[in-house]
Amino acid sequence: MKLYDYAMAPNPRRVRIFLAEKGIEIPVEQVDLRERQNVGDDYLAINQYGTVPLLELDNGKHICESIAICRYFEAVQPDPALMGSDPEEQARIEMFQRLVELNGLMPAGEAFRNSHPAFEGRGMAGPLTMAQSPDLAERGTIRVGKFFEKLDNELKNKEFIAGDKYSIADITGLVAIDFAGWSKLVPTDSQVNLKAWYDRVNARPSAKA
């Protein structure tokens, strides 16, 4: 088993944090995104989407998509549960994971990729050539601002995003906020719930993974 990773990228970090919380160690191979190794023939042969992370199983099969990789490890080692342990908790955690991903992590990526000069012609992850879109950079920026507001509101009476337990929703949230910071999008000083939560999850040893 092996994880294809890129140390600097936000999505592989989600899996690394997840594994650190589970106490699972597996071999890791770096795929250099700056050198565009992810869209080279060798890599596209095992992942036609050209994305990292990618999990290679012992039977030679591959699983891409961070959350699908996390699901695999949640199923093989349920403890500690990071995706919920009863139907309602599973649904609630999945809901928040998705909300944070769709409204925070993705807009942060759209803002960054569509404005940073290094991504000219690569307005999307993967092998597709795509012009940067100033519209999308602006929309991403607006949406990240709204995301901070809503998440601050959600965290008013909760220790973690999905309730009283740390979960995969917190992992996506932490990574989303750090990724938004690449575009200098940061919570305001008045968003005290959000900031206290951030400090809480960022202080866990897994945050360094």
Could you give the CA distance from residue 142 to residue 42 in angstroms, rounded to a whole number?
Answer: 38
Instruction: Give the nearer residue to a copy of itself in terms of CB position, either 172 or 207.
Output: 172
Which DSSP symbol is given to 164? S
* Per-residue contact flags (x/-) with a copy of itself for residues 30 to 69, judged by CB under 8 A: ------------------xx-----x-x-x-x-xxx-xxx
In terms of CB distance, is 107 or 207 closer to a copy of itself? 107
Cα separation of 18 and 154, whole Å? 22
Question: Which parts of 117-176 interact with a copy of itself (CB under 8 A)?
Answer: 123-124, 128, 130, 133-136, 139, 142-143, 146, 150, 153
Cα–Cα distance for residue pair 171/201, rounded to 1 Å: 8
Taking the complex as a whole, how short is the minimal distance between the CB of residue 87 and a copy of itself, in angstroms?
Answer: 4
Of 36 and 98, CB closest to a copy of itself: 98
Residue 207: CB minimum distance to a copy of itself, A: 24
For the purposes of burial, counting CB atoms within 10 Å of the CB of 58, is it exposed (0-12), middle (13-18) or buried (19 or more)?
A: exposed
72 binds a copy of itself (CB under 8 A): yes
Residues binding a copy of itself: what is the number (CB under 8 A)? Answer: 41
Three-state SS string over 24-45 comes to: CCCCEEECCCCCCHHHCHHHHH
The region of 6-14, 70-78, 178-186, 195-203 touching a copy of itself under the rule CB under 8 A is: 70-78
Name the 3-class secondary structure at 61.
Answer: coil
In the numeric block, the tokens 């309602």 are attached to 88
From CA 195, how far away is CA 181, in angstroms rounded? 13
Task: Supply the minimum distance, in Å, between the C-beta of residue 35 and a copy of itself.
Answer: 24
Site residues for a copy of itself, 171-190, by CB under 8 A, read: none
15 binds a copy of itself (CB under 8 A): no
Class of residue 70 by CB neighbours under 10 A (exposed 0-12, middle 13-18, buried 19+): buried
Distance CA 189, CA 78 (A): 37
Q: Residue numbers of the site for a copy of itself (CB under 8 A)? A: 48-49, 55, 57, 59, 61, 63-65, 67-69, 71-72, 75-76, 86-88, 90-92, 94-95, 98-99, 103, 123-124, 128, 130, 133-136, 139, 142-143, 146, 150, 153
